Every structure is written in C-alpha cells, then in structure tokens.
A and B are shown apart, each in its own frame.
Chain A
Amino acid sequence: MGIFGQLLLVGLCLAHEVDPQKAQMAINVSGKVTSSSDGLGIPAVSILVKGTSTGTVADLDGNYTIDLSDENGILVFSSLGYATQEIAVNGRAVIDVVMEEDMQGLDEVVVVGYGTQSTRHLSSSVSRVNADDFADLPVAQFAQKLQGKVSGVQIAQTTGTPGGGVDIRIRGAASITAGNDPLFVVDGNPIVGGISNINPNEIESISVLKDASATALYGSRAANGVVLIETKKAVAGETRVDYNAYSGIQQVPQRGRPDMMNAREFATWKKEIAEFRGQTVHPDYENPNEYGEGTDWYDAITQLAPMQDHSLSISTGTETFSTTATAGYLNQDGVILGSGYERFSLRVNTDFRPHEKLNIGFNVAPTYSQNTNTGVDGVGSVVNETLQTSPLAPLRNPDGSLTLTATSPGMFPTPNYARTLRDRVVDNSDTRILANMFAEYQIANGLFIKTSGNIDKGDSRNFTFNGTTTGTRGVGLYDIPFSSLNQSTYLSWVNENILNYQVDVKGHSFDAIIGFTTQKFQQDYSTINASNYPDDKVQTIGAAGTVTASSDVQEWSLLSYLARLNYNYQGKYLLSASIRRDGSSRFGAENRWGNFPSVSVGWILSEEDFMPEIEAVTFLKLRTSYGIAGNFNIGNYTHIPTISTANYVFGNDIAAGRRVDNLADQEIGWESNKQFNIGVDLNLLNDRIDFTYNYYHKTTSDLLFNVRVPQASGFSNIQTNIGELQFWGHEFSVGSSNIQKKDFTWTTDFNISFDRNQVMSMGTRTSELITGPGSGLIGGSHITTEGQPIGMLYGMIHEGVYNNQEEFDNSPKHSTSQVGTAKFRDVNGDEVITVDDATIIGNPHPDFIFGMTNRIQYRDFDFSVTLSGTYGNDVLRGSEQTLTNLDGVFNVLSNVKDRWRSPEEPGSGRYGSLAAGTTYLERDWWGSQMLYDASHLYINNITLGYRFSLHDKSFFRNLRVYGSVQNAHVFTDYPGANPQVSQSQASTGLGIDGGSYPVPRTYTLGVNIGF
C-alpha cells in the first residue's frame, strides 16, 4: 500500500469525524503588547489560544486582534527575548499586556522529536540554534554555519569544494563500519538525501538532540544524534517581504600553499639524481642556473572566484490562511579552475485553518543544483597531481594558448592540468523535492491527532567527458576520449500518525503522545561508461564506440511505534519517558524488531522554597537521563546471501555464470547504544550569565561491523554484530551578556567539549582491525584495537636515515635498505624491518574542541566574530607520498633539498638517499615522517553590519548592510592547507590528508532589506 492510499484513508476518516461544533460564546479580543523596559510596543508577538492551534501575531507596534470561540479561553503571549505569559480572557474584549524581558529565553519553545517543549521544562540534552545566529555567514551549507556554535558538535570543513565537504559529528559519534552521521529531520521528515542542497535561508531554527532521552524517539537511527531542522513558517499578520543578499570573492589563503621546487631548484634536483645514480644528465638539466622560477602550477589552477547568494521571501497570512515563500539563488565559483556550484531553491510553506480545530499544512521545497566538481578533490585529484607537474614546463604556448602537456624529461607523462580543467566537460546536477502535508485536528480539549505524509525525492545526474585535450598523470593526454554517466533517482516516503494529549491537573502537567510511522525508501542507480569515441566533437553516450552499463536497485522499509510522556509537577519536578519500537527490512526475521526506551528526570532547584535566596542565582536545574538508541546503517541486504554474475567463455561462446558473493550473517541485528547523561543548567546575575554542563557516557555494543575474514574462505568480509565501544565526555557552554546598555551590548557565547572513546572488545580473531585509505602494503592507515580509541593512525615509526655505514651496520634493516635510506623503528625487536613493525603512530581524535562567538552592538552598528578549533588531533599527510617522492618523476616540496646526500651531508633526516631501487619504503610505507599535529584555531567569520534607523512611515521595514570575512585566518602548526582535512569521514579512516581542495577565504558584502 502506498502513502497516497494511507493519506487518503486518513483524510476520509478525518472528514467523516468532523462534527458540528457545540455553540460557545464567541468573542473578539484586541489590545497592545508593550515591553516592561521601555514601554514601547513589541512587534510580532505570537498570540495563541491555549490548547488550540488558533493564533495571531501582533503588528509592528504591538497591536493585535483575535477572534475566540470561547470567551473563557486562555491566551498565550510569547516573543523571543520575553517571558511567555498566559492570560485568561474571562470575557474581556480588550487586554493590554506588558511583557518582561527575558534575555536568556529560558521559556523559549524548542523543537524536540515529534513536538515542542519549553526549554525550561526540558530534562534532556538539546542544543538549539536560531537562524539569527548564523544569518550572515556566506557559506553554501547550513552545517558550515553551525561551526563553533554548538557544544558537543564537531563540524569540520574537510574540503573547500564548492557546495560540499562538511563532516558533522555529535558527541564524538563513531561506529566501526556503520557510519557516524546524525539523522536529519526537516519539519518532521526524516530525510534520506543529503543536506547540502537545502538553502540555509529557509531555516528558522535547528535543534541538535544529543542525549538518549532526546534521541530515543528516533529509535534505530538515533545513535549518532539527531538534527531537527525547522523551516520558516508563516504567521498571521501583515504581508512581509524580505530580501537578503550577499556577494563576494573567494581566495586561496597564502598560508598552507605547498612550497614546491621552482624551475631552477627542480633542474638542480634532476641533475643531482642522475649524477647520484651514475646516469647521464639530460641536457635540459645540465645548467640549472639558466632557469628562473618557472611555472607555479598551484597558481595556474587556482583563481579568485566570485560567490553570490540571493534570497527573497514573502510571508502573509490571516487567521485562516498563512503562507511563506522563500526563493533562493546561490552561485559559488570554485577557487580551483573549472569547479563551481549553483543552486536554485524554492520553499513554500502554507497553513490552512478552515476550522479553529483543524490545521492543515502543505510545505513543498524543490531545489535544483548543479556543479562541475568532478575530480577536483581527494587523492589522485588535480589539486595534488598538479603540484607534481614540472616547473620547467610552460603554462602557455608562445601564442598565449594553454599548452596540452607539461612534462620534462624523465618524468611521468602529465597533462597541463589548467588545460585539462578547462577542457574537461563536467555536468552534474541534482533535483530534489522535499514535501510534506499534514492535518492536525483537535478532538477534544487538549487532545490532538496529527497525520502527515512526507516525501523526499531526488534525482541526480553526473556526466564527465574526457576529451583528447585532457589527461591524467602517468598517461599524459587521453588519446581516446571516454565519458561516464551516473544517474540515480530515489524516493523516500514517510507516513506519521500521532495522537497528543495535554492536560494540567492541580499542578500536574502531562503531555503525552503515541503514534506509529512507516517509511519506505527506493533508489535506482545506473552507471554508463562510454569509451572509444572517434573524436571530441560529439560527446553524447551514443557517439561512443564502446558502452558498458550497470544498474542497481536499493530499497528499505521501516515500521515504528512510539510513545512519550512529558510530565512536570508544579513546574519544578520534571519527568520524561519514551519508547520506540522499530522493525526494519535491513535485518533478518529473527532480529528485525528493536525496542528503544528512554527516561529522564529534572529538578528545578531554584524554584524550591528551601533554596536560600541567593541574588546571584536566578535559575538552577539538575537533570539526568538514560536511554537506548540504535544504528541501522548497514547495507540493505546484508543478511541475505546474494548470488551475482560470474561470466566465463567457452570457445567463442559466452557462458553466463553465477556465484555466491557474500558471507551473510542471517542473525544480524541492531547496534545498540546505551547512553547516560547528567547535566546542570544555571543562570546567574539576573540571567545575564547562563551556564550549561553535561557529562555523558555511551556504550555501543553489538557493533555492526564488517569484519575482514581470510580470503582463503572465498570471501573478504562478513557483516556481523561484534564488540563494544565506550564514549564519554564533558560539555560546557557559557553565554554572557557582558555589557547590556541601551546603545551598547556585548555578548559572548563560548563552548568547549571533551570527547573520548575506547574500544572495549573487538571479537575479531586478532582483536584488531586495519582500515583506512593508507598504504596497501601494511593493510591500511588506521588500526582499531582493544583498549585504544577507535581508528588510531597506524604505520611505521620513522627514525631518520641510516646516516653512515656504522649506523647501518648496527641497526635493524629491511632487505632493500642501504646507507642513506629511511630508517624505521624495529618495533617487534626481531632485528629486521618488515611490515610487522607497523604500530600506532598518532591519534586523529582531538583532546577537546571549542567555539566562541562574540557579538557587539553599538548604536546602529553590529559586529561579530566566530572562532572554533580543536586541540590534540593528528593528521597523516598522505599526499607527501608524492610530494616528497625521491624517484625524481615528480616535482617535490622544496625542502626535499635537505635529503641525505652522503655521510658527510646527511641532511635533515626526513628524506633519504636517491639510490635507485631504495626509495619506495620511504614513499610507500606511511609512517611518522608524514604525521603532524593538526591542533588549530580558526577565525571562522568576522562581520560588521550597519542597520539604518528608519522612520515609521519609511518604505522599508528593515535595512541593514554588512561586510564579512569567512575563514579569515587559521592558527596552526599543520603545514598543509587545511588542518580540518579528512579524506574519509569514516570513524576508522579519520585524519588523512590526501591533498584536498583548499578552503577559500571569502570576502563579502551583504544587505538585509525588509518591506
């Protein structure tokens, strides 16, 4: 049965169930809402009839009017920065309200799973970020905007690729093979596609659910935390038009640009190689001094790149109908030639209230994005390979055109990458529609039923054509053009049915939900590789001489029941309990269903009479929680052994063969994640300082783990439940109004988190797991082993070079070692150097992460600075495998000059001898010679804004201009461009720099205009 059938049914039920209303005394109430501090009207206060979804919004002067069906109703007045008030109407037609300022917004309503809750009454760990906090940041993705703003959430911009490259990790989330991404939920829709094509301007607020009490309601997908995104909703009131735009320029910072040999240095190096190896020096290299700087290839493929973003939103509404529409356009050119990202987006959120007890919403958000980013990032990408190009080779021909190749004698054939980037045809596009529809009906006082249908649909198409003027290292130019076309389309639908009951009885306040949800996902992929094109002229697949195609279909489904009770007594004793039961198609019939319960309690001490009246303490809450969440990120069919094709030939006849292709564990089940949390919320000095502390402890057991098995079995791995991990950490956040005067305010938000993890047991036969993108010679770059953090950096310990014969004779060595070659530590003490000497060499996990935002407002000026950073994490700079390659086939870092030349000139010890046949250990055995401390402090953003003072009668409602610098500076000892780099996002592959796309610095000017 499809979603439409279900929705139709629910709709019919509802239509049938709507009864004529009992007559009540209707009344029209109006009044003005003013601020206690200055007596002026407060604009846009939200006014809601308690226990219903009926409401209105005050105008700019604080005036409001609302129709009530019951003259004894209660009105709830709320506005950001003010304490919420509930006022009984008692038949009055005019109600003026004076609201108290509440800077810390403790009565703010925060979005939680399947509902909302006041922060005051929250007993779980939830962090909230409002759109205002990140509005000015000129970045394509909202996740980048959260950098440094949320405690316990590490957000790393691992690459500068336009429109991409953000890694989000909540509370150090890690799993060995089951992923570490949080679940993203947009307006209640657990989305399956990425978040990169969501226009940040559509977002109203973001809630990060961290502890199990907050996440367990998302059951089997909640182990890595949940991020709830609420988009901007219309409210009844005046028509508003807002236009926000910025335009800027992106630049590759000077810091971190690799310092490669220039032409003169390179020719000297090539000459010395030949001399050292007793070969004839090529005439091109005989007189290095005839060369100057030569071509700076990094410069040749980077550029200043413009970026612009426009967002127009219109919002209007009456009591029965409100709508808001946001249209966005982003265009971000890449700082690497040829790359870029463009996004067109639209979101229309509409609410209908045909009846005061019925609320129907339609939200739809199509986006279309395109990029040209193929092959510009990561290992083997142009960024890394361009650096290896000969500085002797000219960028341009004498006539000014770009050359085709860029090779010097004795080097790998290499194309001119500037030309390749220009001529390669890349056409990647994504179309995405997020839509949801809901109907909420008030069945009785405090009793609501809500049903919703949600759709996440996406289509992507990636096309790359490599013509004869493009190429790659090792091949030079492609003689024969080839192309690839990858297409995928997916549809995920979710149906949710929730019953909610809220009641207050003599100080006992209950808010309970029960519900059930279904979700189904289907994705079709196809890949077409086309080759043997006759020429570059026609690039469509049909023009290719040879075409191979493959396709795949992936599906999963999830069926869930959930229930939650939030209870408080007298607003000071808090309790929340929830349970979700999930059934998933990804598991075998025996282990298909999993239960995910949680409970949390809180106590607002500051409300107690026995608390001494301490002026300084205005609010104090203790809370603790415990719960279980799950992780179902495994393949869709892992529990089913599959049979795939294995074709052969007999004579000239093709034989369609088949084989069993995986070792399936039919008993595979949920990875479970038990989490304990204890926390304190404290407000001091009349709420001018607020402080939050959390300690958590998580145990992940029955890890979904793709264990390598001996290939003698015919299989390479088995996905199974094995082993246990523990995580624990401390999170602190402080908000402070340092100065709070009429014309001058200064606030500081600071957070710091200490996250730790440890592997308690592994259950593999050797109790260790070697993974990662590193050298295949020692099996990988990372080791996960009992008693250590997950995914430690793994390799050889480099101890310099064998400086002289005596040292060589007295040291353990490898069969290819010579005097002057790399010397590694004999870790196992067997007197020879082999791969068995590989060991833990570094830790990619930071000791702590932190972020700080300062905001200053002086008269009409505003100024803000955001910082973030990490301390104590290591990065293995794998790109040095080529950047310091001693074979002489690439250009290398200029400090390779400090290599071993003779016992008399041993150099820095980092680089060994050039002797033929001896260089590969240093090159291919990754080790401590490539390891660096990547602790850093980023100045993420600096913004200076000016808001024009406007007359009441002004054409504009709001007018502000600002300038900002994004990624202003980074303080670090890491020699590479980006200390946040990680080629892989897997927990068992962190901290490898394979040569990534540089993160640009962006200078922008922007405007906010409201009408």
Chain B
Amino acid sequence: MKIKTILVGIMSLALGSCEDFLNIPPENAVTPENFFQTESDFQQAVDGVYEPLQDLYDSQASWAMAEMRSDNTHYFYNVDFRFPPPEEIADFLNGSENSVSDDRYYANYDIIARANQVLAVIDEANFDQAVKDNFKGQVLFLRAMAYFDLVRFYGGVPLHLEPATSMESASLPRSSEEEVYNQIIADATTATTLLPNKGNQQAGRATSGAAWTLLGDVYLTLEQWSNAEDALTNVNGYSLLDNYALIFDPANKNHEESIFEIQFLENTSLGLHSYFPYYFVPLTDNHAQLTLGPSGSQSAPQSGWNIPTEDLLSAYEDPDNDERFEASIGFHTGPSLVSDTSYVNLPYIKKYQHSHSIFGQTNQNFPVYRYAEVLLMLAEAMNEQERFTEAQNYLNQVRNRAGLDNYMATGQVDLREAILHERRIELAFENKRWLDLVRTGNAVEIMNAYGAKLKSNPDYYYLSSATYTVDQNDLLFPIPFLEIQVNPDLEQNPGF
C-alpha cells in the first residue's frame, strides 16, 4: 500500500510532464517552425542569400581563377614558402583536389541553396505582394548569377532548384550547359520584371538594371548579339564617373556608375570587412605603406599574389595620359621578407588600396558590374551586328573618360580586338580577363604564347616544362574531387 502510494506519487509527477521534459528546442537558434512566416523573416532570409557573395569575392578563388589564370597577373615566387593551389591555377597545373578552385564551387552553391529555400516557401507566405516580388526578384537574380559563374568555370553543373531534404536530393547528377543557361536566362528574365530600378531600391541590393546587365552578359557569352543588345539597352539611369580612381573609393560606394558590387564594411566586429587588397601587395616588413592601413605583420600565403605582369603593363597604349594606369597599378621598391630578394619597382594592384583603421580589415567593395562594362558590352554587341559607328561610339565613351582619344579604325576584326583590349585595361583586376579570353576563343593561343615567353625568361626559373601547356581541357576547372568522392553520378571534366 505505502509503496504504491510513494511510487504512484513519483511516477505521476514524472510522467505527467514526460513528453514536455523531452522536448528541448535549441535556445540560440531559430527553427523553421517559427521562421519563414512574416515579411521580416523573409527579409532576413533574402539578406542571408547575399552573404556567401562576400566569401566568393573575398576569396583567393575570385582572382586566382579569373585574373591570375590569365596574362594579366602572376604571383611573386616566394622561395621560402610554397602555397601551391593558387600557383597551380596560374601555371595550369591544377588538379581536382585544388582547394582554391573548390571554394568557388562551394560558395556559389551556398547562394543557390539559400535562394532555393526562400523560393520554395515564399509564395505560401502572407505579406505585401510588391515586397514579395522584390524579394523574389533579388533571389532569382542571385541564383542566376551563381549559376552563370558556375557554368562558365565548371561547365554543366548539377541544377539544384529545390531545397535538398535528404541524401538523395542532395546528390544530383550534372545537367548540360544548355540546361543551365536556360535556367539562368529564365531566372534573370523574371528578375528584370520583378525588381525595382536603382532609384527605388536600397543601395547595394539587386536592381532591374543589374538583372538586365546580367542577362546582357549571358547573351553576349552565348553570342546572341541582338538579345544582348536588347537587354543592355534596358540598363538605364547610370553614368560614368569623371574620375576612374573614384570608382573604387570606399567613400563612394554604390555610386552612379555602379550597377552591382559586393558590399563590405569595416569596424563591425561581425566580420563584414573585406581582406582581398592585402593579397595583392608584396610581402614586406611594412605593409602599411602599401595597404594604406595600420601596420601589422603578414604571413607568407597572405600576400604577394595577383602581381601585374609585364605583358599587361606594356598593353597600356599611353600610360602617361591614360589615367587608369596611375590609378590601377603601383610600384614598390624596398626590402622584402622573402629571402635573397628585394623589390625594385615591383608592380602591384593599387586601385583597391584605401585607408582603413584595423590591420587586415578593409572597407573595400568589389565591383561586379559597372556602367563602363555595359558600354563595352554594347560596343561588342553592335560590332558583331556590323553596326560599327554605334560600336565605336560606346567604346569611345569609355576611352574618353580615361583620358584617351577616340578609337578611329574601322573593320570588324580590328574593332573586335580593340574592344577586347579596352576591356582588358578598363576592367583590369576586376576578374574579367580569363573569362573574356575563354569566351572569345583566344585563351589557348594567348596563354600558350604568354607561357612560352615566361618560361624563356630566367627570372621564371621555377616554371617547369609542364607549366603553361594549355589545351581545350584547361578552359574549364575540375569539379571538386571531394564532391565526386561522395556523389558517384558526377562526371569529371575531361583532362582531370
């Protein structure tokens, strides 16, 4: 009797609240049950889609694969310290285990997965349609931009359009390049209709102008010239800044020439600053003189990359009058932390160096699209449609701003070359060059010739004979080895 009383007492106390006792949601995280409901929830989810852009554009992958892979830049050979992944990309020795080329793949898919989460549920939510359209437009733009980046660097990739929920739905096979491009065009086109223009959108967010520019770039890449023209002529409300150097000044973020730029901010304690300008200065005992920030010491893999090549320096047709030369490139003379080395007039990228208050934390945005490029894309689209006067007109707007005279020559071939050359100078270090070489079919020829030149120069003694043997297979980067390891349906690109 008594025992029973005791036991029943104890048991009922415990059992009464038994399932409650075992329900413990995490205290410091939101769960989907109470998220994806309100406008504010979706606002946060949309902003979260932008976040991986910082990883992507502040990473070594951004410049190593798009700039240092080309004839524009190289690395400063540090005999003391070898960090192979970016070097292998520059020298065409990269394999599928290259950690730098993997980063680009992962960051883009991060954007895509977050976009898919929003798109999967936003239609069911209940809030203002205009706001909802704006959100969807931004997310579609970001997804299109991510797939556009992937398809150009890796070819046809797995096309994830729904959130993954299981091991199976996380492991898709590759789609064809055509399928990926169709999705990009669909997303970007929808985005142009849903997004407000720059005047009606918070600075830094995707706009209809950005979506039209992206669409123009996509059509240009696909050589659909009149579609490109139609898209690009819809990019309205932008103008060139008078001074080329001011385009990159953090005091001037999201200025009237800027169409889409990756946003960074210093002094936040949330890690929202950028770092990339530090990669571009040589390894010295006094970084402050070049980064224009406070002093501090730098370790070997963090500096000495993306060094402008002799080839690029000599490509400036009139360095004295072209204000882009002075604005873009600096020269450094002084002692080096690399043994047996001192710097004599070593070129480095200067256009991103601006003052900041904490060592290693810059306030520098990264330009993705700006109006000068729209003009150059229009010039290209016109030239390919044999509308040479219009093409020259667009080209010369860009040249004149830089302090150069009009381009006068005629003939489609010459003009095509002039436009590509102008892109190389105007958009130097904006991670366009490698893709331009690939897109225009020049990569194999130009890079082999450039490599042969380097290898014959005793300063580049460290380049083995295997370097710069470029063929069609090198136009794409390998799918990350670690992805293929867990997904046997993924086929590697040829040559890797």
A-side interface residues toward B, CB under 8 Å? 1, 6, 9-10, 13-14, 17, 277-280, 282, 409-413, 443, 447, 449, 451, 474-480, 497, 499, 516, 518, 520, 532, 545-548, 551-553, 555-557, 559, 583-585, 589, 592, 636-637, 640-661, 663, 665, 707-715, 718, 720, 764-766, 768, 770, 776-779, 815-816, 818, 834-835, 887-889, 915-920, 924
Q: When A555-B24, A712-B157, A765-B487 are in contact, do A663 and B47 touch as well, CB less than 8 Å?
A: no
User: Bound state CA distance, A589 and B25, in angstroms?
Assistant: 12
Structural contact, B50 and A657, CB atoms closer than 8 A: yes
Instruction: Quote the shortest CB–CB distance from B115 to chain A (angstroms).
Output: 9
B54 within 8 A of A: yes
Q: When A557-B24, A710-B170 are in contact, do A648 and B54 touch as well, CB less than 8 Å?
A: yes
User: Bound state CA distance, A887 and B338, in angstroms?
Assistant: 13
Extra 11 A-B pairs, beta carbons < 8 Å, given A6-B13, A553-B26, A765-B167: A1-B13, A6-B14, A17-B5, A282-B340, A553-B28, A583-B22, A637-B25, A644-B30, A654-B272, A714-B164, A887-B81
B485 within 8 A of A: yes
User: Bound state CA distance, A624 and B334, in angstroms?
Assistant: 80
B126 within 8 A of A: no
Contacts of B167 in A (CB 8 A): 707, 709, 718, 720, 764-765
B156-172 CB contacts (< 8 Å) to partner A: 157-158, 160, 163-167, 169-172
Which residue on A lies nearest to B172, using beta carbons?
A: A712
Interface string of B194-218 (1 = CB under 8 A from A): 0000000011110000000000000
Contacts of A919 in B (CB 8 A): 82
Structural contact, B47 and A815, CB atoms closer than 8 A: no
Structural contact, B464 and A816, CB atoms closer than 8 A: yes
Instruction: Quote the shortest CB–CB distance from A316 to chain B (angstroms).
Output: 33
Instruction: Quote the shortest CB–CB distance from B261 to chain A (angstroms).
Output: 10
Structural contact, A647 and B24, CB atoms closer than 8 A: no
Instruction: Quote the shortest CB–CB distance from A699 to chain B (angstroms).
Output: 23
Structural contact, B30 and A764, CB atoms closer than 8 A: no
Structural contact, B269 and A649, CB atoms closer than 8 A: no
User: Bound state CA distance, A552 and B29, in angstroms?
Assistant: 9
Contacts of B51 in A (CB 8 A): 646-648, 657, 659
B483 within 8 A of A: yes
Structural contact, A412 and B81, CB atoms closer than 8 A: yes
Instruction: Quote the shortest CB–CB distance from A818 to chain B (angstroms).
Output: 7
Sample (11) of A-B pairs whose CB atoms are under 8 Å apart: A13-B5, A17-B5, A497-B7, A548-B269, A555-B24, A654-B265, A659-B117, A708-B485, A711-B483, A815-B95, A924-B84
Which residue on B lies nearest to A550, using beta carbons?
A: B28
B441 within 8 A of A: no
The 8 A-B residue pairs whose C-beta atoms are closest, nearest first, are A714-B113, A657-B47, A713-B170, A657-B48, A410-B339, A646-B48, A650-B204, A713-B164
Which residue on A lies nearest to B165, using beta carbons?
A: A663
Instruction: Quote the shortest CB–CB distance from A631 to chain B (angstroms).
Output: 18
Instruction: Quote the shortest CB–CB distance from B456 to chain A (angstroms).
Output: 16
User: Bound state CA distance, A277 and B464, in angstroms?
Assistant: 12
B23 within 8 A of A: yes
Contacts of B170 in A (CB 8 A): 663, 709-710, 712-713, 715, 718
Instruction: Quote the shortest CB–CB distance from A777 to chain B (angstroms).
Output: 5
Best-surrounded residue of B29, B204, B268, B358 (most CB of chain A within 10 A): B29
Contacts of A555 in B (CB 8 A): 24, 27
Instruction: Quote the shortest CB–CB distance from A879 to chain B (angstroms).
Output: 19
Q: When A409-B339, A714-B114 are in contact, do A553 and B483 touch as well, CB less than 8 Å?
A: no
Q: When A13-B6, A711-B106 are in contact, do A649 and B32 touch as well, CB less than 8 Å?
A: no
With beta carbons under 8 angstroms apart, the residue of B6, B202, B203 that contacts A449 is B6
B408 within 8 A of A: no
- Interface segment, one of B294-302, B342-350, B381-389, B412-420: B294-302
Instruction: Quote the shortest CB–CB distance from B468 to chain A (angstroms).
Output: 12
B242-269 CB contacts (< 8 Å) to partner A: 253-254, 263-265, 268-269
Structural contact, B109 and A711, CB atoms closer than 8 A: yes
Interface string of B263-288 (1 = CB under 8 A from A): 11100111110000000000000000
Q: When A712-B109, A712-B160, A816-B93 are in contact, do A644 and B296 touch as well, CB less than 8 Å?
A: no
B35 within 8 A of A: yes
Which residue on A lies nearest to B83, using beta carbons?
A: A920
Instruction: Quote the shortest CB–CB distance from A618 to chain B (angstroms).
Output: 42
Q: When A714-B164, A718-B170, A765-B167 are in contact, do A659 and B82 touch as well, CB less than 8 Å?
A: no
Structural contact, A713 and B253, CB atoms closer than 8 A: no
Q: When A710-B487, A779-B481 are in contact, do A651 and B203 touch as well, CB less than 8 Å?
A: yes
B448 within 8 A of A: no
Number of interface residues of B (CB under 8 A): 108
B31 within 8 A of A: yes
Contacts of A9 in B (CB 8 A): 9-10, 13
Contacts of B171 in A (CB 8 A): 709-710, 713, 765
B237 within 8 A of A: no
B409 within 8 A of A: no
Contacts of A915 in B (CB 8 A): 464
B45 within 8 A of A: yes
User: Bound state CA distance, A815 and B84, in angstroms?
Assistant: 13
Structural contact, A13 and B9, CB atoms closer than 8 A: yes
Contacts of A779 in B (CB 8 A): 481-482, 485
B355 within 8 A of A: no
With beta carbons under 8 angstroms apart, the residue of B32, B54, B265, B296 that contacts A479 is B296
Structural contact, A499 and B7, CB atoms closer than 8 A: yes
Contacts of A652 in B (CB 8 A): 253, 265
Contacts of B166 in A (CB 8 A): 663, 665, 718
Contacts of B461 in A (CB 8 A): 277-278, 916
Contacts of A451 in B (CB 8 A): 10
Instruction: Quote the shortest CB–CB distance from A492 to chain B (angstroms).
Output: 14
B116 within 8 A of A: yes
User: Bound state CA distance, A514 and B18, in angstroms?
Assistant: 18
Which residue on A lies nearest to B32, using beta carbons?
A: A641
Which residue on B lies nearest to A718, using beta carbons?
A: B167
Contacts of B359 in A (CB 8 A): 480, 532
B78-127 CB contacts (< 8 Å) to partner A: 79-82, 84, 87, 93, 95-97, 99, 105-106, 109-110, 112-114, 116-117
Contacts of A770 in B (CB 8 A): 485
Instruction: Quote the shortest CB–CB distance from A442 to chain B (angstroms).
Output: 12
Instruction: Quote the shortest CB–CB distance from B12 to chain A (angstroms).
Output: 11
Which residue on A lies nearest to B14, using beta carbons?
A: A518
Structural contact, B47 and A647, CB atoms closer than 8 A: yes
User: Bound state CA distance, A551 and B295, in angstroms?
Assistant: 31
User: Bound state CA distance, A640 and B482, in angstroms?
Assistant: 26
B11 within 8 A of A: yes
Which residue on A lies nearest to B274, using beta carbons?
A: A649
Structural contact, B297 and A640, CB atoms closer than 8 A: no
With beta carbons under 8 angstroms apart, the residue of A278, A637, A663 that contacts B164 is A663
User: Bound state CA distance, A834 and B22, in angstroms?
Assistant: 50
Instruction: Quote the shortest CB–CB distance from A100 to chain B (angstroms).
Output: 39
User: Bound state CA distance, A924 and B488, in angstroms?
Assistant: 25
Instruction: Quote the shortest CB–CB distance from A227 to chain B (angstroms).
Output: 26
Q: When A585-B22, A765-B486, A766-B485 are in contact, do A476 and B297 touch as well, CB less than 8 Å?
A: yes
Structural contact, B97 and A641, CB atoms closer than 8 A: no
B337 within 8 A of A: yes
User: Bound state CA distance, A917 and B78, in angstroms?
Assistant: 11
User: Bound state CA distance, A295 and B108, in angstroms?
Assistant: 50
Instruction: Quote the shortest CB–CB distance from B203 to chain A (angstroms).
Output: 4
Q: When A657-B44, A920-B84 are in contact, do A648 and B109 touch as well, CB less than 8 Å?
A: no
User: Bound state CA distance, A678 and B341, in angstroms?
Assistant: 72
Instruction: Quote the shortest CB–CB distance from B71 to chain A (angstroms).
Output: 20
Q: When A475-B297, A770-B485, A815-B93 are in contact, do A279 and B340 touch as well, CB less than 8 Å?
A: yes
Structural contact, A651 and B14, CB atoms closer than 8 A: no
Contacts of B31 in A (CB 8 A): 640-643
User: Bound state CA distance, A98 and B267, in angstroms?
Assistant: 83
Contacts of B53 in A (CB 8 A): 648
Instruction: Quote the shortest CB–CB distance from B164 to chain A (angstroms).
Output: 4
Structural contact, A516 and B24, CB atoms closer than 8 A: no
